[in-house]
């Protein structure tokens, strides 16, 4: 693990000094070197994620697809969403907006005597062990993501944005990042705030986010894979998550036109089981939003049209 971390740091430094640092100096943005170095790390993580997706998940989609891909134009838009997020463009925007705000907020709290809290200090000698600490943060952020996901489906105004994610009728490994940008900003705001509040180290945060994203890419993949009765109660499978995307089942309570749904877990199905939102029904149903199929609602075909339609739904004009 130490060798891998050292190798990653060496490549990040080389990429930063060779590519990004000269660009920052040439454009008069030398004061942003620290933010640029962080962005380089996210870029490298994204490139590694794309390699894993293409080498491991893509062959699975060809091996055991749930359905043939007949709308490749829709999938290409999802690829664009993925590149925006995984290559650090979205994260770079957060560096210049959310991160400075939270740094000032928590800095002011420390000035006024509020100490920095570290979740891995709960049990000295145990929770501060690197592997134990990482697993602890994985579980905590997974619970947080479950709560965010419930809010995306339970709050009418947030669902109007999040519905874009569910409008993809041809789910593939690229579908995970098919989100309205405002939806992503809202989710990221909550995650960054909690990350600062519980004191997760930057390196651990990168690992937690990267690992979670890779798992989500696999869960959205067009693969006929389930983990069996026991496995699906331990870890979220593509079949379990596809049920969440199924028309009238995953995002509508008992098939009615009311918000709610099932299978909100990101990594662990435990939270769905605990709050009785789990649905382990067999099968791989068609995906999409009920109002697409029954009401002819148009969520847009291209990136910018989809973003515009989200704002129109939010304003009650679509």
**295, part of any domain:** yes
Given this model, what pLDDT does residue 129 score?
81
Given this model, what pLDDT does residue 255 score?
46
Which of these ranges, 68-72, 278-282, 290-294, has the smallest mean pLDDT? 290-294
Q: Do residues 280 and 232 touch, judged by C-beta distance below 8 A?
A: yes
CA-wise closest residue to 170 among 61, 305, 280, 49: 61
Encoded tokens for 211? 């690992």
Which residue in the block uniquely carries the two structure tokens 């309570």?
253
Q: How many domains does the chain have?
A: 1
pLDDT exceeds 70 at position 1: no
pLDDT exceeds 60 at position 77: yes
**42, part of any domain:** no
33-42 pLDDT tens trace: 887 888 888 8
A 10 A CB-CB count for 202 gives 10
Given this model, what pLDDT does residue 253 score?
53
Kindly report the average pLDDT of the chain as a whole number.
Answer: 88
pLDDT exceeds 60 at position 130: yes
Helices and strands (H and E) in the chain: how many = 16, 0
**259, part of any domain:** yes
CA-wise closest residue to 161 among 187, 194, 189, 192: 187
> Rounded mean pLDDT of 214-237?
97
**29, part of any domain:** no
Given this model, what pLDDT does residue 223 score?
98
**167, part of any domain:** yes
Q: How far apart are CA 317 and CA 308, in angstroms?
A: 11
**Structural element, H or E, at residue 198:** helix 181-198
pLDDT exceeds 50 at position 249: yes
Encoded tokens for 264? 């909100």
pLDDT exceeds 80 at position 114: no
Confidence of residue 45 (pLDDT cuts 50, 70, 90): very high
pTM: predicted TM-score of the whole model, two decimal places? 0.91
> Rounded mean pLDDT of 287-294?
88
Given this model, what pLDDT does residue 203 score?
85
Question: Could you tell me which residues are beta bridge partners of residue 246?
Answer: 287
**7, part of any domain:** no
> Rounded mean pLDDT of 76-87?
94
Given this model, what pLDDT does residue 96 score?
64
Question: Could you tell me which residues are beta bridge partners of residue 252?
Answer: 259
Distance from first CA to last CA of the chain, Å, rounded?
50
> Rounded mean pLDDT of 133-140?
93
The dihedral sign for the CA sequence 82, 144, 212, 168: negative
Q: How far apart are CA 135 and CA 153, in angstroms?
A: 27
Which residue in the block uniquely carries the two structure tokens 């877990």?
265
**49, part of any domain:** no
Confidence of residue 95 (pLDDT cuts 50, 70, 90): low
Structure-model confidence comparison of residues 87 and 307, the more confident one: 307
Structure-model confidence comparison of residues 76 and 248, the more confident one: 76
> Rounded mean pLDDT of 158-187?
95
Q: How far apart are CA 110 and CA 130, in angstroms?
A: 25
Q: DSSP label at 287? A: B
Encoded tokens for 163? 């519905």
**160, part of any domain:** yes
Given this model, what pLDDT does residue 294 score?
83
Structural domain boundaries, residue 222: 65-314
Given this model, what pLDDT does residue 115 score?
74
SS3 breakdown of the chain: % helix, strand, coil, rounded to 5? 65, 0, 30
Given this model, what pLDDT does residue 257 score?
47
């Amino acid at each position: 693990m130490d060798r891998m971390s050292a190798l990653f740091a060496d490549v990040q430094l080389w990429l930063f000094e060779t590519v990004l640092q000269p660009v920052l100096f040439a454009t008069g943005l030398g004061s942003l070197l620290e933010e640029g170095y962080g962005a380089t790390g996210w870029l490298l993580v994204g490139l590694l994620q794309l390699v894993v997706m293409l080498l491991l998940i893509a062959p699975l989609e060809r091996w055991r697809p749930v359905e043939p891909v007949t709308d490749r134009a829709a999938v290409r838009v999802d690829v664009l969403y993925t590149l925006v997020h995984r290559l650090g463009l979205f994260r770079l925007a957060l560096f210049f907006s959310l991160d400075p705000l939270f740094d000032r907020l928590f800095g002011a709290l420390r000035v006024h005597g509020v100490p920095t809290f570290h979740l891995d200090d709960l049990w000295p000698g145990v929770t501060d062990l690197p592997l134990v600490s990482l697993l602890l943060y994985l579980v905590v952020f997974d619970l947080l993501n479950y709560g965010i996901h419930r809010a995306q489906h339970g709050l009418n105004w947030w669902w109007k944005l999040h519905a874009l994610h569910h409008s993809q009728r041809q789910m593939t490994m690229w579908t995970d990042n098919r989100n309205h940008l405002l939806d992503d900003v809202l989710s990221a705001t909550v995650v960054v705030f909690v990350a600062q509040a519980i004191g997760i180290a930057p390196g651990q945060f990168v690992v937690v986010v990267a690992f979670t994203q890779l798992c989500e890419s696999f869960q959205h993949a067009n693969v006929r894979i389930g983990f069996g009765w026991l496995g699906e109660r331990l870890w979220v499978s593509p079949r379990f998550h596809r049920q969440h995307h199924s028309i009238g089942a995953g995002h509508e309570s008992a098939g009615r036109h009311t918000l709610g749904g099932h299978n909100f877990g990101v990594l662990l199905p435990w939270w769905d089981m605990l709050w009785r939102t789990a649905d382990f029904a067999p099968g791989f149903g068609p995906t999409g939003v009920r109002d697409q199929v029954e009401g002819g609602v148009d969520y847009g075909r291209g990136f910018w049209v989809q973003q515009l339609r989200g704002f129109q739904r939010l304003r009650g004009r679509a």
